[in-house]
């Protein structure tokens, strides 16, 4: 008798990946990039610890698909960051992994050539190179941690991490967050439920032991000490916004009840703008007005922004891609981005220092 096969029945291949150490050796972090990352993290922790009154703004493309356009955007953002730095701490949104409700392009790491070749090995190296280029510009970056192995490859280059609405409830992502080297923003659930985000912050603040990989690519038991800088990201849910004063107040009360610092970030996109990018400036204006009215819990905002407005489908002929335009969620254009950030800086410049009083 032959023994029936009982494992890997639906697996077609195991393609070997370069180890994190190999990728790091090929693309080492420079002294300048290290300074950019550590400085950005320190400033962000100071904002969350209420030692720095500024608002942080995670702004950039919904996802990165063209590193040339991405660097173009980064250089523009760095100039704007220097201009408004006394009031706003700008962090470039650099998302390489895209969670899909069903199927679709999963991002630059998963399919860097956008042709269903799924060269994850190449995508990971390209992603690290892009982050190095941004860090060399002197701009801090934020990303979504979706795959629990990816941070071993490029986590040393990230300043802020988001856990998305679909994964905030996941034990795997809560455990991973407890070991990340960055502050972590947990989004409320897609239904709008805030409890899952609060539970995630509490979980991630504690030590965990879980399976992962080490720098040599070997399976290891990862043991963490907990992440003290978890916070809530309000992104709306079930087709309804949750950035209004009542929703923010309820979030504050829930966090205080859980004995957590009332640190709240508002995502101007997603359900908060009904996925209509042209409404993002209205959300931003509302947040600014709440702060001017005395709110002290709102510490950051997120904006989906690109060089060109809107989004585009991925064409069969990739030469037909429109430069600087999103291939995932629709974004506001660069001119709108500048206006949103400059207007906020003007209106908050004299108000934010009072928050430390």
Domain spans in the chain, listed from the N-terminal domain onward? 20-356
**In angstroms, rounded to a whole number, what is the distance separating the alpha carbons of residues 308 and 2?**
61
Helix axes 120-137, 31-48, angle to 10 degrees: 80
Tell me how far the alpha carbon of residue 340 is from its chain's centroid: 19
**SS3 label, residue 11:** coil
Give CA separation, 177 vs 77, 190, 195, 209, 245, in Å: 27, 19, 17, 12, 29
Token pair 């190999």: residue: 22
**In angstroms, rounded to a whole number, what is the distance separating the alpha carbons of residues 275 and 356?**
34
Count of CA atoms in the C-beta half-sphere (13 A) of 60: 31
The pLDDT value recorded for residue 119 is 96
Number of Cβ within a 10 Å radius of residue 43: 19
The dihedral region occupied by 245, where left means phi > 0, alpha psi between -120 and 50, and beta the remainder, is alpha
Going residue by residue through the chain, which has 357 residues, state the pLDDT in tens, using 9 for 90 and above: 677 899 999 999 999 999 999 999 999 999 999 999 999 999 999 999 999 999 999 999 999 999 999 999 999 999 999 999 999 999 999 999 877 655 689 999 999 999 999 999 999 999 999 999 999 999 999 999 999 999 999 999 999 999 999 999 999 999 999 999 999 999 999 999 999 999 999 999 999 999 999 999 999 999 999 999 999 999 999 999 999 999 999 999 999 999 999 999 999 999 999 999 999 999 999 999 999 999 999 999 999 999 999 999 999 999 999 999 999 999 999 999 999 999 999 999 999 999 886
Domain 20-356 in CATH 3.30.390.10: no
Number of Cβ within a 10 Å radius of residue 225: 11
- Taking alpha carbons only, the member of 257, 210, 211, 209 closest to residue 232 is 257
* pTM of the complete model: 0.97
The pLDDT value recorded for residue 356 is 85
Helix (H) / strand (E) element for 187: namely strand 184-187
Is 287 within 8 Å of 298 (Cβ atoms)? yes
Give CA separation, 316 vs 10, 63, 116, 275, 320, in Å: 29, 19, 11, 25, 8
Give CA separation, 67 vs 19, 95, 220, 339, in Å: 23, 12, 33, 24
Is 108 within 8 Å of 127 (Cβ atoms)? yes
3-state class percentages of the chain: helix first, strand second, coil last, to nearest 5: 40, 15, 45
Pull the structure tokens for residue 39.
């400085």
**In angstroms, rounded to a whole number, what is the distance separating the alpha carbons of residues 204 and 209?**
12
**In angstroms, rounded to a whole number, what is the distance separating the alpha carbons of residues 353 and 357?**
8
The pLDDT value recorded for residue 342 is 98
**In angstroms, rounded to a whole number, what is the distance separating the alpha carbons of residues 57 and 304?**
11
């Amino acid at each position: 008798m032959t023994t029936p096969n009982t494992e890997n029945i639906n697996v077609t291949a195991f393609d070997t990946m370069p180890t994190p150490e190999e990728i790091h050796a090929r693309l080492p972090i420079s002294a300048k990039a290290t300074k950019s990352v550590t400085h950005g993290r320190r400033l962000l922790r100071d904002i969350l610890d209420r030692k720095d009154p500024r608002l942080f703004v995670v702004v950039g493309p919904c996802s990165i698909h063209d590193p040339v356009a991405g660097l173009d955007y980064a250089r523009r953002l760095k100039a704007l960051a220097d201009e408004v730095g006394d009031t706003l701490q700008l962090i470039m949104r650099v998302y390489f992994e895209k969670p899909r409700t069903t199927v679709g392009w999963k991002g630059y790491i998963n399919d860097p050539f956008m042709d269903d070749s799924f060269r994850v090995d190449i995508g990971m190296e390209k992603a690290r190179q892009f982050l190095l280029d941004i860090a060399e510009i002197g701009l801090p970056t934020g990303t979504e941690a979706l795959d629990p192995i990816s941070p071993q490859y490029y986590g040393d280059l990230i300043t802020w991490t988001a856990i998305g609405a679909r994964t905030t409830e996941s034990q795997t992502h809560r455990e991973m967050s407890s070991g990340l080297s960055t502050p972590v923003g947990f989004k409320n659930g897609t239904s709008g439920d805030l409890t899952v985000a609060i539970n995630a912050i509490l979980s991630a603040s504690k030590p965990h032991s879980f399976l992962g990989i080490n720098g040599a690519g070997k399976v290891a038991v990862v043991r963490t000490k907990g992440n003290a800088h978890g916070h809530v990201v309000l992104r709306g849910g079930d087709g309804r916004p949750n950035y209004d004063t009542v929703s923010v107040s309820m979030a504050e009360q829930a966090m205080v009840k859980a004995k957590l610092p009332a640190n709240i970030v508002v995502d101007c996109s997603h359900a908060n703008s009904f996925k209509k990018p042209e409404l993002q400036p209205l959300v931003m204006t509302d947040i600014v007005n709440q702060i001017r009215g005395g709110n002290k819990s709102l510490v950051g905002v997120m904006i989906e922004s690109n060089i060109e407005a809107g989004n585009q489908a991925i064409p069969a002929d990739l030469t037909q891609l429109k430069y600087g335009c999103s291939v995932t969620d629709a974004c506001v254009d660069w001119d709108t981005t500048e206006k949103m950030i400059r207007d906020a800086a003007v209106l908050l410049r004299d108000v934010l220092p009072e928050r430390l009083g």
